[in-house]
Chain A
Amino acid sequence: MIPACPLAALPRGEALRIETDPPIAVFHTEDGELYAVDDTCTHQDASLADGWLEGCEVECPLHASRFDLRTGRVDAPPAKLPVRTHQVVVQDETVYVVPSDLPPNLPPGVRTGSA
Chain B
Amino acid sequence: MKSVAIVGASLAGLSAARALRAQGFGGRLTIVGAEPHRPYDRPPLSKEFLAGQMTTTDLALEGDGEDLGAEWRLGVAATGLERGRSLRIALADGSAVEADGVVIATGAVARTLGGDLAGVHTLRTIEDAAALRADLGAARRLVVIGAGFVGAEVACVARTLGLDVTIVEAAPAPFARALGPEMGTALAALHEDHGVRLICGAAVRGLTGEGRVDGVLLDDGRRLDADVVLVGIGARPVVEWLDGSGVLLGDGVVCDAGGATSVPGVVAVGDCAAWFDPALGAHLRVEHWTGAARRPATAAQTLLSGGAAVPDTLAPPYLWSDQYGMRVQFAGHTLPGDEVSVEEGDLASRRFLAVYRREGRMVAVLGVDQPRSFTRWRRRVNEPAGAR
Contact = CB atoms under 8 A, between A and B. Distances in A.
Interface of A: 44, 46-47, 49-52, 59, 61-64, 77-78, 80, 108-109
B53 A108 contact: yes
A109 B63 contact: no
Given A77-B61, A80-B63, A61 B371 contact: yes
Q: What 5 pairs between A and B have smallest CB-CB spacing? A: A108-B58, A109-B53, A50-B371, A50-B372, A80-B63
Interface of B: 15, 18, 41, 44, 48, 53-55, 58, 61, 63-64, 289-290, 293-294, 320, 327, 329, 371-372, 374-376, 379
A63 B53 CA distance: 19
Nearest to B372: A50
B53 A46 contact: no
23 contacts: A44-B44, A44-B48, A49-B372, A50-B372, A50-B375, A51-B375, A61-B371, A61-B372, A61-B374, A62-B320, A62-B327, A62-B371, A63-B289, A77-B61, A77-B63, A78-B293, A80-B64, A108-B48, A108-B53, A108-B54, A108-B55, A109-B48, A109-B58
A61 B367 CA distance: 12
Contacts of A109: 48, 53-54, 58
Contacts of B54: 108-109
Nearest to A58: B375
B345 to A, nearest CB: 15
Given A77-B293, A108-B48, A108-B53, A46 B61 contact: no
B190 to A, nearest CB: 19
The majority secondary structure among interface residues of chain A is: loop
A46 B375 CA distance: 12
A52 B290 contact: no
Contacts of A78: 41, 61, 293
Contacts of B294: 64
A20 B175 CA distance: 37
A11 B213 CA distance: 59
Contacts of A64: 290, 294
A3 B48 CA distance: 34
Contacts of B18: 77
A10 to B, nearest CB: 14
B375 A52 contact: yes
A58 to B, nearest CB: 10
A47 B329 CA distance: 14
B301 to A, nearest CB: 16
Contacts of B375: 50-52, 59, 61
Given A46-B327, A46-B371, 11 more contacts: A44-B44, A50-B375, A59-B375, A61-B371, A62-B371, A63-B289, A77-B15, A78-B61, A108-B48, A108-B55, A108-B58
Nearest to A107: B58
B290 to A, nearest CB: 7
A60 B45 CA distance: 21
Contacts of B48: 44, 108-109
A12 to B, nearest CB: 15
B290 A63 contact: yes
A85 to B, nearest CB: 20
A80 B15 CA distance: 14
Interface centre among A49, A50, A51, A52, by most chain B C-beta atoms within 10 angstroms, is A50
Contacts of B376: 52
Contacts of B320: 62
A108 B63 CA distance: 15
Contacts of A59: 375
B199 to A, nearest CB: 31
A76 to B, nearest CB: 9
A113 to B, nearest CB: 16
A61 B41 CA distance: 18
A108 B376 CA distance: 27
A11 to B, nearest CB: 14
A52 B371 CA distance: 10
